Amino acid sequence: MTTEDLDAAKMLAPYFDAARMRTQDPSVALLSAIIADAAAVQAARNPPPPAWRRLLDPARRTWPASAALAACALLGFWVGVAGTVSIDPTSFATTLSDGSTDADPVATFLELAAME
């Protein structure tokens, strides 16, 4: 520290000592006024978006998820009632190039990919 800094510190010391001795907290009215003023400034800077932008807000996108869930439930119900879908693994059997049948669709896909 230079001598100028020491002189400035000595000059400001009584003010810092007085600030350290003060123990009173700000009043509730003062804090309420500060918070109300901050809320007013924030509301003026960030006006609410128009209605069409609120629909595009990712935080409010619940209707597409609900529609997808309902569509999947209806599709599952329809497949269950129709009864035309078989989950028998032998129904997936395919004839390979050597004339044998393979019930593994992954192996079939890999063989077809290897042909190209």
pTM for this structure? 0.27
pLDDT of residue 4: 75
- pLDDT tens per residue across span 27-66: 899 999 999 999 999 888 877 666 666 666 666 667 777 7
pLDDT tens string 52-101: 666 666 666 677 777 888 899 998 888 777 766 555 555 555 555 566 66
Measured distance CA(13)–CA(5) in Å, rounded: 12
Length of the chain: 116
SS (H, E, C) 43-82: HHHCCCCCHHHHHCCHHHCCHHHHHHHHHHHHHHHHHHHH
**Residue 96 near residue 108, CB atoms below 8 Å:** yes
Mean pLDDT, to the nearest integer, of 12-35?
87
> Is the model more confident about 97 or about 23?
23
Q: What is the pLDDT of residue 96?
A: 55
